[in-house]
Each structure stands twice: as C-alpha cells, then as structure tokens.
Amino acid sequence: MRKIEAIIRKTRFEDVKEALLAADIEWFSYYDVRGEGKMRQARIYRGVMYDTSCIERVLLNIVVRDKNVEKTITAVEQAAHTGEIGDGRIFVIPVEDAI
C-alpha cells in the first residue's frame, strides 16, 4: 500500500475530486492548508497591495493499493495541471501496515 499526499490549488479541487471518483478512488481526506513558496511578490488588486508569499492550497491524503498508485497519480496530475508555477506537489509514501 502507498499513501499519496497531493498539495493542489484550491481552484482545482473540484476537478481533482471528480477525476479521482472517475478513476474509482472512492475515499480520500482533504484539508485546507497554507504554505510558503519560492515566489515572493506583491500583487495589486483594486489599488490594494497583497503579499502573495502565503499560499492557500488543499492537501489530499489518499491511501491506495499498489496496483492503483499510477492511476491515482495520473488522475491528480491531469486534473490539477494548469501549466503555471504553483500547481502543487505529489508525494508517494510507503505504508507498512493499516489497522
């Protein structure tokens, strides 16, 4: 078994959720998270400057059998991809036991 942790944009969460359900991944947990990234810049919106160094994302935790690892990763990658910097990260962690 493997645990897949994916950090994705909040705006892509619904697309990723639908892609996982289409790939027969029926259970996963998710959390709203914040982090610091390499890109540090201020953006101006309606005359107000915002610091964009604190990035809001969604963290998905998915535990799957080894045979489902590739299709899970593919589903997340394709649904979360925008082509811009900051699309996220996917980590694959071995799971020794589940009780």
Measured between alpha carbons, how far is 99 from 12 in angstroms, rounded to an integer?
Answer: 32
| Pick from 4, 1, 20: nearest CA to 92 | 4
* pLDDT tens, the chain, 99 aa long: 999 999 999 999 999 999 999 999 989 999 999 877 666 566 666 777 666 667 789 999 999 999 999 999 999 999 999 888 778 899 999 999 989
pTM above 0.75, yes or no: yes
Cα dihedral 57, 22, 92, 14, rounded to 10, equals 0
Q: Residue 50 in contact with residue 43, Cβ under 8 Å?
A: yes
Give burial (CB, 10 Å; 0-12/13-18/19+) of 75: buried
